[in-house]
Structure formats: structure tokens, C-alpha cells
Structure 1
């Protein structure tokens, strides 16, 4: 089909054209997009034109802002690049922020901080706000305030019929429900209005233990017991990885097996010191970065990598943590492994498990833990990682209720378990209504 009128005046790129490779480049380099045409959207009108063009041509539609959570490589079709839609408007009196489709969390955190407010962002400032929120969004303050999706006030979305809709819980309650948790299955979101919380500072950071000097299993048992004593105002996780012995890393990290506990607590620093005392008693630390900090520095708690790379990952949402199974996971992915792996255990519960004022499609609220496994793809392949992941997750499976949409990065290998049966059925009904031709199919499907 020749380039039709809806795109004639739009910024587009085709394979082989200068700028095409830069436009499709994202944070995830292991599963890349290779569309027939990229529409570089600057506003909602560009998105409308792209969707109408794709619908007329019978082409699938993909969306990319930062390219962190691609479910798989994709060829052909139309890719809508939203990185230029980067407006951020804070309404301090209403405690809300309106963000464009291409905005990253770093920009929202900085803008909200000027007013003593904070968004419910995740650990990495380079992640896109929209895709994170549509998947639910488990952030660093999640136990106190719940999922990021729980705080959305309105969604501007272009549906498969090429119409731009302003959707709220009052105007279109069923579509609003499905968009929040349903990912990109129902349309292309051009803007979100999200509630902010009155947090200007927190007590947090990381305690890092040497996993060769302190028994990781003992650390895990101590941490799990400790989580049963903490208030909802404290959100935490554990990460374990063997750092590669490469000159690009600081000498104190090269080749070291570190087990780190990451903390974010919104109460007074003196109370935070009291709460973490049992963790410090678990053994000598390699580093202790716990401190009071402005919320704008909260990204230093996790220090997630900020450079594009190829990775593979998966996760389980658990009703309870089987310590023997978790210890087996650590054993398979620690120093004895022949490849680098990152294990993360997120303590959930609190506000994540409570009902919200406006119901949404975020699944698995009964989960008390999230277990994530992430592996660089360099030096290995999917088949080897699939086999390892199956062995690593098997002991934990009896307590699994499903998988998180945000962290289901396994290249489309395992579409199962992302939604529970009731949520899947309800989303499928919405899909049949709003996207009967399955235009938006480059994600974890619900139809």
C-alpha cells in the first residue's frame, strides 16, 4: 500500500532510510523492532494518523517510548515512536501530573520535587511512565501507596477505530478498568493524568553483603523474618548477583558476589535506623548506604544500569515465600553458575493488596512476594536460559499466582500466567469491543 494521506505530512522512517536505526533503538537490545514504517509522533494527531493508516493497511501496530520491556522481537507493521511526546505538567494544588506518552520517570520526579511531591515511580529513572503504569507499576513506595495504576485519574488513548478518547472512571469505566493493567492491548496511550503523593524526602539506600563471606541463605532467612515486622511505610527488596570481573567496574565490585537489601521508608530517619538494625546485625557489610535523602535522589537506592543492553528475564508472583525454594534459586544463579544472573525478591503486601477506589485490571493483588530473574544475553542464548529458569522457578511454583506484566520480559516465550482467568476473560471482552481486528497485538495478548 502506498503511503496514504494520513501520514503524508508526518515524520516517518523506513528501513534503509537515514534515522531509521536511531528511531527504533531502545534500552532492550536483545529483542529489537524492525517495522516497515516508523511514525515519529510529536502529538496525539500523529498517533491518530498512524493508527488509521495501519488499520486501513491491515498492519499490526507497535509502540515504543524507551524500549525497556519489549515482549519479543517484531518485524513488519507500523511502529509509533512516542519519545518526542515528552511534556510534563504538574498541578501542585491538585497533586497531579499530566505526562505525554514519551516521558521518562526522571523528568516527573524532578518536576514533582519542586513542589514537595513525588510520583509512584519505579527504581530506574530512564523507564517510560506510560508503559510502566499501564502494566501496574510496582514502585519504591509501593507498600505504602499501592500500584502506580491505582493513582491514574485519566487516560488519553487512540483506539483501533482511530478515535482519540479522554477516558476516566466516570466517562468509560470499563475501558478505564482495562487500560490500567491491560498494557497496550486496547490502544495507544498519548497522555496520562496521575496523582502525586506528598513525599519530599525518605530514609533509604542499600546494605550490601559479600555472599561469599556471609551465607546468602542465612541472609535471606533473616530478611524474610524481618519483613514480617515492618510497617507499610517501608518498602524493600533483595538483589543478588555476581559482578563480572571487568575493568569497567570499580575494583571493589569486580568478581564479587553481592547480596543487597534495598530500603525506602517515608518515616523519620531515626525510626528508619531503628527498623533496619536487625538487618545490620545479619553480618558485616561491604557497603552501607542508608541515609536520609531528598526524594529526587531515590534512584540511588537501586542504582539500576542506565545503558542499553540485551537481557532476558521472567518472574513469579507468590502468595508466600518458600525459603528452601528461594535458597535453591540463589544457589543456581550465584557463583556456581556459568553465566551472570540477577535475582530480585520484592516484598509486596500493604497497599498493593488493598482494594482501590477505582477498580482496574492489575492482577495478582494477593501476591506477597515478587521473584524476578534477569540475565544478560551476551554469551548465552534463550534456550539455555529457558532451561535454567525452569529449574530455578520450579520449587517456587506451588505458591505462584501468576506473573507481573511489567517484568514478563521473556521474549514472548511464556505468555501464560500474566493475567488470572477472570481478568483475562474480562480483558478479552474489551478487546473484542475496541480492537476486534487485533491491531494492537505486539504484547502479551488478551484476546
Structure 2
């Protein structure tokens, strides 16, 4: 059986869908339908035939059985991050109500539902001196990040977010709840640790946590006129950084403000050791602000202060093969406008070590993220042109992390042809009817 490319709900289907699940159901014409179907990135249009908010794992299983019988696909999103708009003819499944969160301090493990946010996991772990592998935003779902591999503040010490996954709780294409581990189903376990959500619906994760008895971090911000000195200091620090230290360079140009430059840091250790490692920063011109200090792992979202509400955005990610003085010069000799931010993340460390995942090790030492606000079509076009400008002049590898993909890209922009072919075989075996439609599907 293959699903219709763009099926529509028959007159009998709405009642059948509402009868099939206990969670909330929205259909076209219902109040709030247009609101609940929107993704996090409001620049992406997301057409769907219905929205279902699952009450629990049993609800997810019932929905999968319903969708398979109706020959309708399912697109799953806890809160809409990473959306591409490739959802036409599908039921949009929201898993935000799957919010179980259990910490086992002795085993350093967490069992979480698919709707648990990174910030919620961090808050729970912090009470026991433990941490997950959080990125810059506290509002993204841990599950969504793990399915894309996942970059973290602490990835230099502990690798991909997906490397910490011990088990997936899933509903398969037959509507059966299952637990997947490296021993029970090695092929599916491999695929889901960075190959996206095209193979099953994840209802929960078991994750290894990591010790974090102390943490130092924050942002130093300077005027744009100091960019050359700040960037060279960043280069010197990252050339010698131990894996416990992570530093990100940020070129910033907010609407109505002058250009600025920032260095964001975290250090898994005490303040004295952290300040010694970044002493180069103390020799720079006086910063506009300095928020660095001892902090909880639950406070990491405050470093970059990314928006916690949906909004329009236009991004592009790349991986840099090197970052030397010539690359720094290429970054700085052209204003980033109309981009709002150009971020360079130091990788290496555990990121470069072997990983049995679709992406494998990150051999590139730095990641690049280019972001702008598409306020109108002309601005959107200018943002795309400036992103391409930087990609053309910087030593990018041509690959990127899955979680950095934008709606115009596919998994082939992130993963090797060998991994893509293996993922397609797994998709054909586990979901031959194509019930599951992830943000970045292996057939695209």
C-alpha cells in the first residue's frame, strides 16, 4: 500500500478521527486551527488536513492505526521546530503532552516523554548535579534534537546529543508501541540517532546524563569596532581549549542598533580555572557587558537569550574546514547586514571521535550559522544572497548538521550518500506505506 500524495478527509473521516483518539483534534474551519498548525518558524507555511494533540502513548498508537487505514500520512512535531512545510495531506501530530520526566541520580539516567523541552530536562538534572546535552535554546524538544544528532554546549566533552540516547520508546508503522535499543533493533536504533524521524514516532527517550557539579559561563559583548581583536582572541582561545571549554563567536547586528561582536562561553569546572583559560579576553578593550559567572546548568538559555516564542526566521548552517586569520578576515571585512547574526561554534573534542550514527564524527573544527529576519520578500532575498556570499568565500565543507538544515535543504545536504542509502533501506523495511513524514524525509 502507498499513501495518496495529498489525500483529503472524507465527510465520514472527521468523526472517525475524533473517535480514534482521546486527545484534542482540530480540523479546517475549527477555531484556532490555523494557529495550532503553525510551526515555530512563522516564515514556513505548513498545510495539513488535521492537527491531533496526543494524550499519551496509547493515543499515538491509535492515531497511527487510523492513519494507516485511511492512507493518510503523519507529521510529528512537539512544538514545530525544524519545520519545512513538507506536510501537505498529512495529520500534524503534537506530542507536547507526553511530558514524563524521571531522573535516576544513581544511574545518571533520565526517562523523558517526547514533549519534554531541553530547559525542563536541565532544571530536573541540575537538582542532582547532572546535565543533559543542551543547545542554545531551552524551548526545543530533547527528542527532536536527538533525532537530528544534536549539537550541544557540552558536545566537545560528550559528543552528539544522540550519542547519549540509551533507548527510544516508539510507535511503529503498524501502530505497535516498542522499546528500541542498540541490542533489540540495531538498525532502527542507528537510524534514529541522527537520521531524523522518518522511521517511527518517538514517544519517549532514555538518556545518559553527565556530571556537572560546577559550571561557569556567559557572554562578553563588544562594539563592532573591536571585532578584529575579539575574533583573534577567540581564535587563540579555541586553538588551545580543553574539551570542558566551549566558545562561540557571534557577529550581531540587531535592527536599529550598531554592529556588535560577542564571545559566549561555558566551562564544565570552577570559575578560577575558567578565567585562566580565557585570560586573553581580559586584554581586550573594555566590553559593553560581561554576564559571565558561576551558573546552574538550568540557566544556559540565558547566555544567547534566543526567543522563546515563535517568530519568522531565515537560517543557513555550514561546517568550516578551518578557522585561521584569513578566514577571520573574510568574516569581518564585509558587514553582515541584512543578517542579524553570524555565529561560529567551536566543535572538535568528542565531536570528532567515532560515532555510530548516520552523520558519524564531525571532522570539521567549527560550525557556522547565518540568521536573518525576513520581514518582506525583498529582505528575504537579500538575506539569502548574503548567506550565499559567506558560504562562497569561507572554507565550508559542503556538509552540515541535520539540526542546522533549513526548509530549502534535504538530508542529502547533511549526510553521506552511504548513510542516505542505508536510511532509505530502513525506511522501506519499517514504513513501506510511508505513514511517517518527518521534517527531512529520506525520500526527498
TM over 0.5: yes
CA distance in 2, matches of 1:228, 1:418: 26
Give the CA deviation at 1:102. Answer: 1.1
CA distance in 1, matches of 2:301, 2:249: 16
1:425 maps to 2:421: yes
Question: Which one of 307, 310, 326 corresponds to residue 309 of structure 2?
Answer: 307
**Aligned residue in 2 for 1:156:** 169
Q: Deviations over 1:380-403 (max 9, x none)?
A: 45444333222220122x541501
1:198 maps to 2:220: no
Instruction: Report 1:204-283 matches (<5 A).
Output: 204-211=217-224, 213-214=225-226, 216-245=227-256, 255-283=257-285
Q: Deviations over 1:273-323 (max 9, x none)?
A: 111111232332111111111222222222212221100111112232255
Secondary structure of the residue aligned to 2:215 is strand
**Aligned residue in 2 for 1:392:** 390
Question: Which one of 90, 110, 123 corresponds to residue 97 of structure 1?
Answer: 110
Question: Which one of 429, 432, 435 corresponds to residue 431 of structure 2?
Answer: 435
**Aligned residue in 1 for 2:4:** none
Give the CA deviation at 1:376. Answer: 1.0
Instruction: Report 1:141-152 matches (<5 A).
Output: 141-152=154-165
Label 1:429 to 1:126 Cα distance change in 2 as closer, same or farther (>3 A). Answer: same
Q: Deviations over 1:44-76 (max 9, x none)?
A: 111112222222222222111121211236433
The farther-off stretch of 265-274 and 359-368 is 359-368
CA distance in 2, matches of 1:333, 1:187: 44
1:117 maps to 2:130: yes
CA contact (8 A) 1:64 1:80 kept: yes
The farther-off stretch of 433-442 and 194-203 is 433-442
Number of equivalences: 429
**Aligned residue in 1 for 2:373:** 376
Instruction: Report 1:284-433 matches (<5 A).
Output: 284-321=286-323, 323-334=325-336, 337=337, 339-356=338-355, 359-380=356-377, 382-396=380-394, 398-409=395-406, 411-413=407-409, 416-433=412-429
CA contact (8 A) 2:214 2:269 kept: no
CA distance in 1, matches of 2:102, 2:342: 36
Give the CA deviation at 1:131. Answer: 0.4
Label 1:55 to 1:384 Cα distance change in 2 as closer, same or farther (>3 A). Answer: farther
CA distance in 1, matches of 2:43, 2:140: 17
CA distance in 2, matches of 1:382, 1:240: 19
CA contact (8 A) 1:7 1:49 kept: no
Q: CA RMSD in A?
A: 2.0
Give the CA deviation at 1:244. Answer: 1.6
Q: Deviations over 1:142-176 (max 9, x none)?
A: 11111111111100112223222210011001110
Secondary structure of the residue aligned to 2:304 is coil
Normalising by structure 1, we get a TM-score of: 0.90
Label 1:137 to 1:288 Cα distance change in 2 as closer, same or farther (>3 A). Answer: same
**Aligned residue in 2 for 1:184:** 197
Secondary structure of the residue aligned to 2:299 is helix
Q: Which runs of no fewer than 5 residues in structure 2 stay unpaired?
A: 1-9
Q: Which runs of no fewer than 5 residues in structure 1 stay unpaired?
A: 246-254
**Aligned residue in 2 for 1:251:** none
Normalising by structure 2, we get a TM-score of: 0.91
CA distance in 2, matches of 1:404, 1:426: 18
